[in-house]
Amino acid sequence: MWMTPKRSKMEIDESRGFRAEWTQRYLVVEPPEGEGALCLVCRRLVVATGEPDVRHHYEAEHDYYERYVAEGERAALVERLRQGDLPEAAPLTPEERAARAGLGLARLLALKGCGWGEGDFVHRCMEVMLRDVLPDHVSVLNGIDLSPEITRQRVLDINQNLRSQLFNRAKDFKAYSLALDDQAFVAYENYLLVFVRGVGHDLEVQEELLTIINLTHHFSVGALMAAILEALQTAGLSLQRMVGLTTTHTLRMIGENSGLVSYMREKAVSPNCWNVIHYSGFLHLELLSSYDVDVNQIVNAISEWIVLIKTRGVRRPEFQALLTESESEHGERVNGRCLNNWLRKGKTLKLIFSLRKEIKTFLVSIGATTVHFTDKEWLCDFGFLVDIMDHLRELSELLRVSKVFAAAAFDHICAFEVKLNLLQRHIEEKNLTHFATLSQVVDELKGHLQEDEKILDPDRYRVVICRLQKEFERHFKDLKFIKKDLELFANPFSFKPEYAPISVRVELTKLQANTNLWNEYRTKDLGQFYAGLSAESYPIIKGVACKVASLFDSSKICEKAFSYLTRNQHTLSQPLTDEHLHALFRIATTEIEPLWDDLVRGRNESNP
C-alpha cells in the first residue's frame, strides 16, 4: 500500500491554500489580507479550511449562477462580479413555486415509500386543511399537480439531478471503494446495490448509491461484472483509483473460483493500481452470521410462532410490544423473507425469549404443537443463540457508526475476535458468565430434571464459536495485511518509524518532530488533521491517508437502504421499473441535497 506517488509541483498546500480555479467554479477570489476566500457575490469572507467550505457556501447561497455554464459565459460573469455588476437572480414565478412544492412533496412520498397514487390523497388533505384554516389561500393548490404520472416523473428528475451531482464530485475522487450488497430483494427478484465511497484531496468522504443491478437479468458473474464496469465508466471512475471492496459473504460474492470478488480483483490488477483490499463481514453482520450459529433451526420454529401470533393472537396484550416492534421493521403485511431477516437480529431474539412462557400458553390455547418447550437440547440451543446473537448485535451497532475510518472499525473487529476466544474458553469450562440466557435455561432445566441427567453439552457450542472465529478470520484477512498501515494512519505520532515501511520513514520522522502538527493532531479529529496536512511536504503519508479514508468504515448506508426496503416492501413489490427502484433507493440513501432551482427550471444535466 505504501507506494511512492508522483510529487505535486504546487508550492503551497493544495488542501488549505486558495486555488485559482475556485474563482470560476465558485465565484470567489483570494482576499487581500488573511486566509480564506472572498465571495464575489455576497462579499462575505468564507473562512475556508479546504474546498468543501467554499463549495458548500456556493451551493447553499448562490447555486442560481450555475446557469452560467459555458466557459465564456462563466468568465464574463466573473468579470462583471469583479466590477460590482451583480446579475439579479430572477424570482420564481407562481408556476415555478408550485412546481418546486410538487417536487418537494414527490421527494417526501418517495422517502416514505408511498405509492404514486398517494399524491392525490395528500393534495386532498391539504385542500381540506386550507379550506378550514386559510380559506383565502385554497387557490394556491390549483397549480400543484400530484397526479401519479407527474409524481413518478418528478422522482425520476430528482434522481437524475442527484446522479449528476454525484458524477461531478466523483471526478475529483483521489481514491474510492465499492460496497456490493446482494441482499436487496423486491417481490421475487433480487438486486445488487452498488455503493461508492470516495475521497477527494481534502479528505472529504462521500458515500452514495452508484447503481442498482437486477440479478434476474444479470445472473452470471460475467454479466454482473460488465454492469459494474459500465456504471464505473459512466461515473468517470477508473479501476486504477479503486482501493477497497466490501461485500456480503454469499457465494455469489466470495466464491473461491466463481465469485464476483475474484473477477473484480483480476480486472483491477495493473502496473499503476493499488492492491484492492477486500473484506466481507461488514454488511448484514447479524443476518449472515446467524446462519453459522443457528445449530438447531431455531429461527424456523420461531417464525411459525410469529405467523400464528400475527394471525390469531394479535389482540393479546402480552404480544403488543412484539407486534409493534415487528410493524416498525416491516409494516403490517408479513413478507416471509422480511420476517426471517427480522428474526435473525439479536434484539428480536432476546424479546421473543422473554415471552417464551406467554408464547407456550398461547400455542396450547390454539392447539398448536409445543414439542420444542420439552426438548432440553432445543431450549439450550435457543438460549445459546440469543446470547451469541446479542454479542454480534453489539459489534454490529459499533460498525454502523460512520465517518470513523476503517482503522477504528478494524479495532472493533480485533476486539471481538479476542472476545470470541474468551467465550470459547468459558464455554469449555461451563462458565456461563457471558451467556446469561443460556445460564437461565440451564437453571430452569435443573429444577425439572434428575441430578445425574446431563443438561449442557459444551462441545456443541465450542464448535459453533470456533466456526464463527474462522469465518471472521476469513472475512477480514485483507485488513490484517494492512494492519500496520491502519495503525500508522490512526496514530502517526506514536508509531515507531523503524516499524514503518522504508518509503515513509523520512516523512514520518519529520512529521513527529513538528510541534505545530502535533498540536493540530491533538485538537482536531483525524479527518481534519489529514485534510490540513501538506501534500507537498508529506506526499506519501497524504496519499495513503486518502486511500485508508476511502475504505468503508461502516455498514450505515447499506443498513439505511435495507431498512427502507423492509419498511416499504409491500409498496416496492408493486410493478416498478428498475429505473424507478434506482430513483427511490437513491433518494432514500443520499446525503446530497437536490438543486431545486435547476429542477424547477429544467436545467438538469443529461445523463452521461
The DSSP string of 170-217 is: HTT-SEEEEEEEEEEEETTEEEEEEEEEEE-TT--EEEEEEEEEETTT
Given a cut of 80, whether residue 594 has pLDDT beyond it is yes
Amino acid at 230: E
Q: What is the pLDDT of residue 342?
A: 78
pLDDT (mean) for 132-146:
86
* Residues paired with residue 205 on neighbouring β-strands, in sequence order: 199
**Cell 511512492 appears where?**
4
- pLDDT of 36-46, one tens digit each? 888 888 888 88
| Least confident span in 24-38, 107-121, 238-252, 478-492 | 24-38
Q: What is the pLDDT of residue 334?
A: 54
Given a cut of 60, whether residue 375 has pLDDT beyond it is yes
pLDDT (mean) for 137-144:
84
Amino acid at 404: V
Name the pLDDT band for 221 (thresholds 50, 70, 90).
confident
Name the pLDDT band for 200 (thresholds 50, 70, 90).
confident
pLDDT (mean) for 178-201:
86
In whole numbers, what is the pLDDT of the chain averaged over residues? 84
**Cell 493532531 appears where?**
521
Q: What is the pLDDT of residue 178?
A: 95
Task: Give the predicted TM-score (pTM) of the model.
Answer: 0.82
DSSP 272: T
Q: What kind and span of H or E run contains 244?
A: strand 242-247
CA distance 137 to 59: 32
Q: What is the pLDDT of residue 335?
A: 60
Instruction: Output the CA–CA distances (angstroms, integers) from residue 254 to 217, 227, 265, in the order listed.
Output: 20, 18, 11
| Least confident span in 312-326, 351-365, 476-490, 537-551 | 312-326
Q: What is the pLDDT of residue 74?
A: 82
Q: Which residues contact 120 (CB under 8 A, 6 or more apart)?
A: 146, 147, 148
pLDDT (mean) for 427-444:
92
- pLDDT of 90-122, one tens digit each? 667 788 888 889 999 999 999 988 888 888 888
Greater confidence (595 vs 439) lies with 439
Angle, CA of 228, 231 and 233, to the nearest 5°:
110
- Buried residues in 430-449 as b, exposed as e (16+ CB within 10 A): eebebbebbbebbeebeeee
Q: What is the pLDDT of residue 431?
A: 92
CB 191 within 8 A of CB 581: yes
Amino acid at 474: R
What is the share, in percent, of the chain residues with pLDDT greater than 70?
A: 89
In three state form, how does the secondary structure of 455-508 look? CCCHHHHHHHHHHHHHHHHHHCHHHHHCHHHHHHHHCCCCCCHHHCCHHHHHHH
Instruction: Output the CA–CA distances (angstroms, integers) from residue 558 to 173, 467, 474, 577, in the order listed.
Output: 21, 26, 21, 21
Q: What is the pLDDT of residue 250?
A: 83
Q: What is the pLDDT of residue 606?
A: 41
Name the pLDDT band for 176 (thresholds 50, 70, 90).
very high
- pLDDT of 60-73, one tens digit each? 777 777 767 666 78
Q: From the CB of residue 217, how many other CB atoms can be counted at a distance below 10 Å?
A: 10
Given a cut of 70, whether residue 421 has pLDDT beyond it is yes
Q: What is the pLDDT of residue 270?
A: 47
Q: What is the pLDDT of residue 157?
A: 94
Name the pLDDT band for 438 (thresholds 50, 70, 90).
very high
- The number of helix segments (H) and strand segments (E) in the chain equals 29, 8
CB 581 within 8 A of CB 186: yes
Name the pLDDT band for 89 (thresholds 50, 70, 90).
low
CA distance 320 to 222: 48
Greater confidence (174 vs 68) lies with 174
